[in-house]
Amino acid sequence: MCGLSSELQLLVISYLAPLDIYHLEATYREFRDLTQDFAGAIWKECLLRQCLLNGVFWPSYNNLTEPAQFKLAATSALRFVKTYERGVASLPVSGQSTSVTIQADNEDILDFYLVQGGRFLITLEPGRIAMWDITQTPDRSSAILVWTRDNKYEVDVLQATRIIDATAILLLFTLRNPRNRPCYDDPDPSNLSGQYSMEYLILEVCPKDGGQGFKVRREKFLCLTAPDFEPTANSFTFFTGTVLLHIVNPMAESIFIVWDYVSDSLASVRFDSDRTIHGTILRQNFLFNVLSDGVEFFEIPPHHPVKDGSWEIRDGRASPGHLLSYAEPIGSCSYEGGAVRAGRWKEWAFTGPDILNPSHLENHARVYELMEDVHGFRDRFTLHHFSVHFSPTHPKDSTVKLVGKYELGWGEEGCLWEREVKPAFSRVCDGRNAVLWIDDADNGVGTPTQYLAIYPSVDYSSSTGKQASPKFAEVRVRLPNYLHSQDYLYETCPVSGTLAVLRNDTIAGEPFIRCCRRVGFKFRDLI
């Protein structure tokens, strides 16, 4: 590498991981001199790569100017993982803790979202959606973006979020319409209608031209109607340019709505729900249903334009699918002593490739994650990483392969598994799945407790090799954060080491955000 020109060396460095840069600085004097001369550009580019890897909002760092600041931000995800790995399970969260009062009535905050990066917060209130910079002032924060919609629909729940190429925020909301039930209040019996509807709103937020402030770049509305049944939304997932809505009708049928919000077109497909669908992957014009015995894919019907923002759910049955079976059955797992226990899948077992690889980096295969509970073991479960190789020209030549298998144990905190601790959020941190768990059980003070679990990293290099062999890894739930009885909304950003809770201050009459940051290790301590 030393024989390359400075320009080529800088290009190579821009693709290196932070720890690799550190190793080269410690090994090669010429490399160290180069990084010192161009430290600002190197660490800024490294930070951008980390934003793409972890689905972080790049404008979160537009206030940084010094090379040391870029270096600190680029290594925050790695340092948080090391803090987690070397931490003690019983050690509470500590570090920099700040409270930010936001200008909204505490009874009016319905939901909030901590944007990956730990700097910006989006709140959902009746009549408006606001964006805040919670690092501006320690006592009060003014909204930097306010969006309102003046019509009969009220924004109800924030259902899904995604960061697009580190530069824009996608938000999917469900809307509440007083007339989203059959129109039985009409005095004329001839006008009675049995039609149900569900309303959705997509907002795309990005920086303004010039980088000063933010704007809503895209706003899309969709009203789904059902002529003969009341649909129930089951899940919402963002993919590139589309959002996938999984709906279940009273006949226990699964209906997938593929909404291309860019071209404002839509396709729907219906399945008989005789098999449990753990998760869904969208790839080009095909829908992949992740099942217990493999992946079954179907071709999506042609899209049709959405007229006047409305679409009626039709009785379109799925064409015959093709099953990509797993090489080995995964319904049972073997442990010490030769004991074999039947496994059971959890409803939250699936983590899709769009979470593990949010920016679709080219050198990363499409890998998804399945977690299996094991009967008879209170503190054991099996984590599977599967890679899907899809051939658009010859779909039936596609394959699914096990690239990682881990027998995981909760360690000393195994009792939490028995207490039905529930996962609340799944975020990627340094390329690993970081899950925030909530324990609603009484911890002695009558308040819930937050825990964090970071699963083994995905080995993308093994996607072209042989089937993976089982490995054992101990997963400890670490860094507990004991909530207050007035804390009723919470979010996490592991990349910045931030836990945020919304506290209802009944005395002051104002809500405030309590942010606790714990990143821990200095960069030189990571070796």
Beta pairing class for 449-454 and 478-482: antiparallel
Instruction: Count CB neighbours of 103 within 10 A.
Output: 12
Is 418 or 125 the better-scoring residue by pLDDT?
Answer: 125
Query: In Å, how far are 21, 64, 95 from 521, measured between CA atoms?
Result: 17, 20, 12
| Whether residue 26 sits in one domain with residue 145 | no
Calpha distance 287→255 (Å, rounded): 12
| Whether residue 160 sits in one domain with residue 16 | no
The amino acid sitting at 158 is: L
**pLDDT higher than 70, residue 364:** no
Is 279 or 499 the better-scoring residue by pLDDT?
Answer: 279
Using a pLDDT cut of 90, give the percent of the chain over it.
16
| Whether residue 12 sits in one domain with residue 132 | no
| Whether residue 70 sits in one domain with residue 122 | no
- Please name which of 216, 246, 241 lies closest in space to residue 231, comparing C-alpha atoms: 246
Q: Assign residue 20 a region: left if phi > 0, alpha if psi is -120 to 50, beta otherwise?
A: alpha
Predicted local distance difference test score (pLDDT) of residue 87: 64
- Residue 130 and residue 146 in contact, taking contact as beta carbons nearer than 8 Å: yes
Secondary-structure percent of the chain, ordered helix, strand, coil, rounded to 5 = 20, 45, 35
The confidence band for 479, taking pLDDT boundaries of 50, 70 and 90, is low
- β-strand partners of 216: 205
Predicted local distance difference test score (pLDDT) of residue 418: 55
Predicted local distance difference test score (pLDDT) of residue 70: 93
Calpha distance 28→9 (Å, rounded): 13
Instruction: Count CB neighbours of 83 within 10 A.
Output: 18
- Please name which of 18, 9, 7 lies closest in space to residue 53, comparing C-alpha atoms: 18
Query: In Å, how far are 290, 326, 407 from 375, measured between CA atoms?
Result: 22, 22, 14
Calpha distance 148→382 (Å, rounded): 46
Predicted local distance difference test score (pLDDT) of residue 217: 93
Radius of gyration in angstroms for the set of CA atoms belonging to the chain, rounded to a whole number? 24
| Whether residue 334 sits in one domain with residue 357 | yes
3-class DSSP assignment, residue 7: helix
| Whether residue 399 sits in one domain with residue 310 | yes
| Whether residue 69 sits in one domain with residue 90 | no
| Whether residue 83 sits in one domain with residue 62 | no
| Whether residue 165 sits in one domain with residue 108 | yes
Q: What is the pTM of this model?
A: 0.84
Predicted local distance difference test score (pLDDT) of residue 342: 42
**pLDDT higher than 60, residue 485:** no
172-198: pLDDT as tens digits: 998 876 554 443 344 444 444 556 788
The confidence band for 476, taking pLDDT boundaries of 50, 70 and 90, is low
- Residue 399 and residue 389 in contact, taking contact as beta carbons nearer than 8 Å: yes
The confidence band for 481, taking pLDDT boundaries of 50, 70 and 90, is low
Query: In Å, how far are 145, 148, 199, 462 from 220, measured between CA atoms?
Result: 18, 14, 11, 40
Query: In Å, how far are 104, 424, 493, 502 from 488, measured between CA atoms?
Result: 16, 13, 17, 6
Is 63 or 414 the better-scoring residue by pLDDT?
Answer: 63
206-218: pLDDT as tens digits: 999 887 889 999 9
- Residue 383 and residue 403 in contact, taking contact as beta carbons nearer than 8 Å: no
89-130: pLDDT as tens digits: 455 555 566 666 666 654 577 888 999 998 998 988 888 898
User: What residues have CB less than 8 Å from 103, skipping those under 6 apart?
Assistant: 140, 141, 142, 143, 510
**pLDDT higher than 70, residue 316:** no
Calpha distance 144→416 (Å, rounded): 40
- β-strand partners of 164: 168
DSSP H helical ranges for 329-475: 353-356, 415-418
| Whether residue 26 sits in one domain with residue 91 | no
Predicted local distance difference test score (pLDDT) of residue 61: 95
- Residue 322 and residue 296 in contact, taking contact as beta carbons nearer than 8 Å: yes
Query: In Å, how far are 100, 102, 111, 208, 498 from 141, measured between CA atoms?
Result: 6, 5, 17, 20, 18
Calpha distance 204→2 (Å, rounded): 44
Mean pLDDT of 215-231: 84
The confidence band for 261, taking pLDDT boundaries of 50, 70 and 90, is very high
Predicted local distance difference test score (pLDDT) of residue 170: 95
Using a pLDDT cut of 70, give the percent of the chain over it.
67
Residue after which a domain boundary falls, among 44, 74, 104: 74
Domain residues for 237? 76-525
Calpha distance 310→276 (Å, rounded): 30
Question: Does residue 1 fall inside a structural domain?
Answer: no
| Whether residue 461 sits in one domain with residue 398 | yes
**pLDDT higher than 50, residue 527:** no
Question: Does residue 13 fall inside a structural domain?
Answer: yes
Question: Does residue 320 fall inside a structural domain?
Answer: yes
| SS3 letters across 427-462 | EEECCEEEEEEEECCCCCCCCCEEEEEECCCCCHHH
Predicted local distance difference test score (pLDDT) of residue 446: 56
Give residue for tokens 């836990």. 499
| Whether residue 89 sits in one domain with residue 45 | no
Residue after which a domain boundary falls, among 54, 74, 94: 74
Residue after which a domain boundary falls, among 74, 102, 130: 74
The confidence band for 169, taking pLDDT boundaries of 50, 70 and 90, is very high
Predicted local distance difference test score (pLDDT) of residue 1: 60
* Number of structural domains found in the chain: 2
- Residue 196 and residue 229 in contact, taking contact as beta carbons nearer than 8 Å: yes
